[in-house]
Chains A and B, each alone.
Chain A
Amino acid sequence: MIALSPSKWIAIGFVLVVFGVVAPFLMVMKIIPSTFFLNFLSFAASVSGLVLGMYGAAMYVREHRRKR
């Protein structure tokens, strides 16, 4: 498991979520080709981005509590 700070987990999650929306948009506008790989990558990015974001938030809460 890569040890990242909670804020980095949240940032990664956010980037993935944005990718999950932007990639289909680019495919819809025919700027990039629509392929199986890109479609599922964007879907997986969207879902996993949310989960990672939540995980980051949970880590942040835990770390924050420990510091108190």
Chain B
Amino acid sequence: MNNLIQEDSANITGRYPSSTISRIAKYISVKAIILLVMLAIGIYLAVLAINYGGYIDKIYRAQIDDALGGYFMSTDTSMLSKEEQTQLYADLQKGMEQALGLDKPFLLRSLRWFYNGITFNWGQANQLETQEDSRDIRKIVFEALPNTLLLAGIANIFVFVASVAVALYLSKFYGGFWDRLVLALSPLSTIPNWIYAVLLIVIFAAQLHWLPFGGMYDTLPPATKLGYVPIVLKHMLLPILAIVLSMFFQSVYAWRTFFLIHQGEDYVEMAKAKGLTDRVINTQYILRPVLPYLVTNFAFLLIGFWQGVIVLEKVFNWPGIGLLFLKAVPINERGVTVALIVIFAYLLAASIFTLDISYALLDPRIRIGGDGQTVKPVKMSRRKAKLKLNRGTLKKRPGFLFTKDEQIRSGLPPNRDAAGRQKIARPRGSSALHTFGREIARYPLAVLGLLIIFLLVSVSIYTVVAIPYQEAVHLWRSGRTESRLLPENALPTWVNFFRSKKLPPNIILDSQDGTAIKKVMPSEKGVSKITLLYSFKYPYGDFPQDLAIDFNSQFLEKRPFVSLSWKTPDGREFDLGSFSVQNLQSYVLSLDAPKDLLDPEKNMQKFLTGGKGGHTAIEILFANPNYFEPVPVAGRYTLRIDGLVFEEAAVLDAKMILYGKVYGLAGTDHLRRDLMIALLWGAPIALAFGFLGAIATTLASMMLAAMGVWFGGWVDDLIQRIADVNMIIPVLPVAIMIFYLYSQSIWVILGVVVLLNVFSSMIKNYRAAFLQMKEAPYIEAAMAYGSSNWRIIFRYMIPRILPLLIPQVIILIPSYVCFEGTLAFLNVSEPNLPTWGKVIYDGIEKGAFQGYLYWVLEPVGLMVLTGLSFAMVGFALDSIFNPRLRKV
């Protein structure tokens, strides 16, 4: 009561009483100390991971050996004896090892690295440099950090301000068009920001040319320093838009939902009954109670931002700490890696500490009393519980159903509940499915999501059966012989549906399979004349990529001789060269065409003599000579190969490959690989990653939370402290580090990511649910009849929240699907495994934005489709299983 009076007096005077100030100060101090300890543990663990077992020390020793080898090669040491040279080598080696601290034991080395890390004594980099060519790691890091902070600051303001404003508007006009639209679009937030980044680059940079592809500055520097402002703003527009898009709908959905829930509270109804205006109700009755929630949500957005910034900076080539980390890890820049992990940890800790301070300011429980501690579970002996049970606690709870054992012990008839009422039969089997189907049918988007999931699962099963893993890896491996037959960077065939001038497909004619005409005319002394004719119709509106001929001849001593000629539909003929062929030999027009072919004097084609120049040999073979621009002539073309073989048993065959500009349903990449292989195999990999990750994370989190709550004491404390430390450790950088330092298996990385995610905010949510459950009468009853701890956990506690678990798992799946894509996009994936993320990585690295947009749009589209389908189903299930959400 005194506390309430104090609070009331604070309201009147606008000042807090001294007891409140000391309580807040104590709360913040305790949080700061705990956070510092967690920070130290988190950073030390990261340092251990970076140098576990001295792995990188070995690399450093090898580098010392290389440096010394180079020194002795370049320095004249001939005046020294062999012993003196050996001694000099040993002395130099020892000195360099001491300078790097390699002479110390591993524990001391790791502690030294830890101390140096947290005190910013990061030393010198081996290869990375600042713009001023400095290798001081502090300078390298602090050159990149403001670039990232600039992105973070502006993006967070946009997200926060826009989300709160829109959420308030939507809750006010609940059920309207905009409300339903945002609700329908809310699953879009499951897509990571770098996917939005790719799409934005495609639209605004590649297609419209309004904004730059990436980077931070223009090629030419401005005249004054102020001139940098519009340049930087222009370059940061797309990255900020990507961040805002990825966070906006999630924030709006969550905040609008909470506004609505609080709108339904009695005091809001009372306010409406009093006749208050909507504006007053919104600001005074809805916004204020949800302020702590908004702050929490904002803090998690901040934490999420630091995880995603690495990928975003990679996409936009934004020179921040994320891009620096990606440069540092593959080249074993241990100092830079430690420095960046420390910076990430500090930034995460700063976000969490700000959250704690804001709790102290906003949460009345902290101001009034209790120091913000969570509710302590009541420790009750089994004897006490039994006594409570005997006093009839359970009988006052109608609807409570006994298990089989409890039923026997209770002495009630088998079909009665704890209050002695008749049990209502629950729908089972087909009727349960029917009920579920009826519920899910209320959400058309969820039905659509289920259909897409069914399709994806079917495609995955087909892929695994039709293209076994080894075959897929073989087909995807670059440099294989079959890929020679495919065109390079060919668009998918279906693009011809949208084009007036059709693009040519691949045309392959072979004298061995009968698609070409082969005439053999024997003559004297074992000499035979072989004519190979390759005739084909060409009705297309564009030129093919190139022409290749694969010769396959068999002879003992003397090589066959061939002459190539080309005949166009209008009767013109071109000589493509004459030469003797080996057993297996290839002729490629772009490389082997005779010089005369490109000579304007000899080929009087208008586009050659009067055009812009720079035309290729294939254009000369197909172009209409009467046009100033190269335009292909439609009709029948013929390639003729006249060969002479000089032995009776000699054979001459050849395959003509006219490389088209479209291929298959998915097109090809820069290594002539059919993208369909990666798109098909990407589905089972993404789904397996998503299902395994989501189920393992959710189950493990739930079990640990249940054990922590039930056993309490040090078990609960340990789990909670690990979760606290884990909040300081950035997941994505750790996963990248594991890949480069320990294992290139994506399943090992999945295991690490699951382990890190198990001890996340999820475990705290489950803990809150189990804490309430622990006090439930049926748990007391279970204790009273002597049920074991494990039985209570696994039979009575966990099954109760399993229904809540299903939407959690479904919503978590797209996160893991996208995380696999994110890792592959960062080239953190098994080298030969075809995945969607890897296709996107190749596409962006090898020039997809220069006219090959299909290369990134196809895998991006599939990833978005997969993510959205699970998210749509998950959101609907969340509404079905959570009665509070059902009405909103």
A66 and B232 within 8 A (CB): no
A21 and B11 within 8 A (CB): no
Partner of B146, one of A39, A48, A51, A58: A39
A25 and B283 within 8 A (CB): no
Among residues of A, the one whose C-beta sits closest to the C-beta of B226 is: A29
Q: Which residues of the other chain, B, contact A29 by a CB distance below 8 angstroms?
A: 225-226, 228-229, 232
Query: In the bound complex, how far is the Cα of B112 from the Cα of A20, in angstroms?
Result: 33
A21 and B150 within 8 A (CB): yes
Kindly state whether residue B886 has any CB partner on chain A within 8 Å.
no
Among residues of B, the one whose C-beta sits closest to the C-beta of A47 is: B354
Given A34-B145, A61-B284, check contact A1 B16 (CB 8 Å): yes
28 pairs of residues in contact across A and B, judged by CB atoms under 8 Å: A1-B21, A3-B16, A21-B157, A24-B146, A24-B150, A24-B153, A25-B150, A25-B232, A28-B228, A36-B142, A39-B142, A40-B346, A40-B350, A42-B146, A42-B149, A46-B153, A46-B156, A47-B302, A50-B156, A50-B160, A51-B358, A51-B361, A54-B291, A54-B294, A54-B362, A55-B362, A61-B283, A64-B284
Given A25-B229, A31-B225, A62-B288, check contact A42 B11 (CB 8 Å): no
Partner of B347, one of A30, A43, A62: A43
Kindly state whether residue B199 has any CB partner on chain A within 8 Å.
no
Query: In the bound complex, how far is the Cα of B148 from the Cα of A34, in angstroms?
Result: 12
Query: In the bound complex, how far is the Cα of B357 from the Cα of A23, in angstroms?
Result: 23
Q: Which residues of the other chain, B, contact A3 by a CB distance below 8 angstroms?
A: 13-16
A28 and B24 within 8 A (CB): no
| B39 → A minimal CB distance (Å) | 13
A30 and B225 within 8 A (CB): yes
B11 and A51 within 8 A (CB): no
Q: Which residues of the other chain, A, contact B156 by a CB distance below 8 angstroms?
A: 46-47, 50
| A1 → B minimal CB distance (Å) | 4
Kindly state whether residue B483 has any CB partner on chain A within 8 Å.
no
Q: How many residues of B contact A (CB 8 A)?
A: 49
Query: In the bound complex, how far is the Cα of B294 from the Cα of A66, in angstroms?
Result: 23
Query: In the bound complex, how far is the Cα of B224 from the Cα of A31, in angstroms?
Result: 11
Binding site for B on A (CB under 8 A): 1, 3, 5, 17, 20-21, 23-25, 27-31, 34-36, 39-40, 42-44, 46-48, 50-51, 54-55, 57-58, 61-66, 68
Interface string of B835-862 (1 = CB under 8 A from A): 0000000000000000000000000000
Query: In the bound complex, how far is the Cα of B21 from the Cα of A3, in angstroms?
Result: 11
Query: In the bound complex, how far is the Cα of B343 from the Cα of A36, in angstroms?
Result: 9
Q: Which residues of the other chain, B, contact A58 by a CB distance below 8 angstroms?
A: 287-288, 291, 362
Query: In the bound complex, how far is the Cα of B16 from the Cα of A47, in angstroms?
Result: 24
Kindly state whether residue B351 has any CB partner on chain A within 8 Å.
yes
Q: Which residues of the other chain, B, contact A43 by a CB distance below 8 angstroms?
A: 149, 152-153, 347, 350
| B848 → A minimal CB distance (Å) | 29
| B736 → A minimal CB distance (Å) | 23
A24 and B15 within 8 A (CB): no
Interface residues of B in 339-356 (CB under 8 A from A): 346-347, 350-351, 354
Q: Which residues of the other chain, B, contact A55 by a CB distance below 8 angstroms?
A: 358, 361-362
Q: A1-B15, A28-B232, A62-B288 are in contact. List 6 more A-B contacts (CB 8 A).
A: A1-B24, A42-B149, A50-B160, A51-B295, A58-B287, A58-B362
Which interface residue of B12, B157, B160, B280 has the most chain A CB atoms within 10 A?
Answer: B157
A39 and B149 within 8 A (CB): yes
Query: In the bound complex, how far is the Cα of B145 from the Cα of A58, in angstroms?
Result: 33
Kindly state whether residue B154 has any CB partner on chain A within 8 Å.
yes
Among residues of A, the one whose C-beta sits closest to the C-beta of B139 is: A34
| B716 → A minimal CB distance (Å) | 29
Query: In the bound complex, how far is the Cα of B216 from the Cα of A29, in angstroms?
Result: 11
Q: Which residues of the other chain, A, contact B294 by a CB distance below 8 angstroms?
A: 54
| A45 → B minimal CB distance (Å) | 9
Kindly state whether residue B830 has any CB partner on chain A within 8 Å.
no
| A4 → B minimal CB distance (Å) | 8
Query: In the bound complex, how far is the Cα of B24 from the Cα of A58, in angstroms?
Result: 18
Query: In the bound complex, how far is the Cα of B164 from the Cα of A57, in angstroms?
Result: 12
Query: In the bound complex, how far is the Cα of B24 from the Cα of A29, in angstroms?
Result: 39
| B360 → A minimal CB distance (Å) | 10
Q: Which residues of the other chain, B, contact A25 by a CB distance below 8 angstroms?
A: 146, 150, 229, 232
A65 and B284 within 8 A (CB): yes
Given A1-B15, A47-B350, A55-B362, check contact A28 B147 (CB 8 Å): yes
Kindly state whether residue B642 has any CB partner on chain A within 8 Å.
no
B354 and A51 within 8 A (CB): yes
Kindly state whether residue B120 has any CB partner on chain A within 8 Å.
yes
Binding site for A on B (CB under 8 A): 11-16, 20-21, 24, 120, 138, 142-143, 145-147, 149-150, 152-154, 156-157, 160, 216, 225-226, 228-229, 232, 280, 283-284, 287-288, 291, 294-295, 298, 302, 346-347, 350-351, 354, 357-358, 361-362
Among residues of B, the one whose C-beta sits closest to the C-beta of A44 is: B350
Q: Which residues of the other chain, A, contact B149 by a CB distance below 8 angstroms?
A: 20, 24, 39, 42-43, 46
| A40 → B minimal CB distance (Å) | 7
B143 and A34 within 8 A (CB): yes
A61 and B229 within 8 A (CB): no
Query: In the bound complex, how far is the Cα of B14 from the Cα of A5, in angstroms?
Result: 8
Query: In the bound complex, how far is the Cα of B145 from the Cα of A36, in angstroms?
Result: 9
Q: Which residues of the other chain, A, contact B225 by a CB distance below 8 angstroms?
A: 29-31
B16 and A20 within 8 A (CB): no
Q: Which residues of the other chain, A, contact B145 by a CB distance below 8 angstroms?
A: 34, 39
Partner of A1, one of B20, B153, B354: B20
Q: Which residues of the other chain, A, contact B142 by a CB distance below 8 angstroms?
A: 34-36, 39
Q: Which residues of the other chain, A, contact B361 by a CB distance below 8 angstroms?
A: 51, 55
Among residues of A, the one whose C-beta sits closest to the C-beta of B120 is: A36
B153 and A34 within 8 A (CB): no
Given A29-B229, A46-B153, check contact A54 B358 (CB 8 Å): yes
Q: Which residues of the other chain, A, contact B216 by a CB distance below 8 angstroms?
A: 28
Query: In the bound complex, how far is the Cα of B152 from the Cα of A65, in angstroms?
Result: 35
A48 and B232 within 8 A (CB): no
Query: In the bound complex, how far is the Cα of B351 from the Cα of A52, in angstroms?
Result: 14
Q: Which residues of the other chain, A, contact B229 by a CB distance below 8 angstroms?
A: 25, 29
B287 and A61 within 8 A (CB): yes
B24 and A17 within 8 A (CB): no
Query: In the bound complex, how far is the Cα of B195 from the Cα of A44, in angstroms?
Result: 29
A21 and B154 within 8 A (CB): yes
Among residues of A, the one whose C-beta sits closest to the C-beta of B147 is: A28
Query: In the bound complex, how far is the Cα of B781 from the Cα of A8, in angstroms?
Result: 56
Q: Which residues of the other chain, A, contact B152 by a CB distance below 8 angstroms?
A: 43, 46
| A53 → B minimal CB distance (Å) | 9
Query: In the bound complex, how far is the Cα of B216 from the Cα of A51, in angstroms?
Result: 29
Which interface residue of A3, A21, A51, A65 has the most chain B CB atoms within 10 A?
Answer: A51
Q: Which residues of the other chain, B, contact A17 by a CB distance below 8 angstroms?
A: 153, 157
Q: Which residues of the other chain, B, contact A40 by a CB distance below 8 angstroms?
A: 346, 350
Query: In the bound complex, how far is the Cα of B282 from the Cα of A65, in angstroms?
Result: 12
Q: Which residues of the other chain, B, contact A54 by a CB distance below 8 angstroms?
A: 291, 294-295, 358, 362
Partner of A27, one of B11, B146, B287: B146
| A50 → B minimal CB distance (Å) | 6
Query: In the bound complex, how far is the Cα of B295 from the Cα of A66, in angstroms?
Result: 24
Query: In the bound complex, how far is the Cα of B302 from the Cα of A21, in angstroms?
Result: 15
Query: In the bound complex, how far is the Cα of B120 from the Cα of A25, in angstroms?
Result: 23
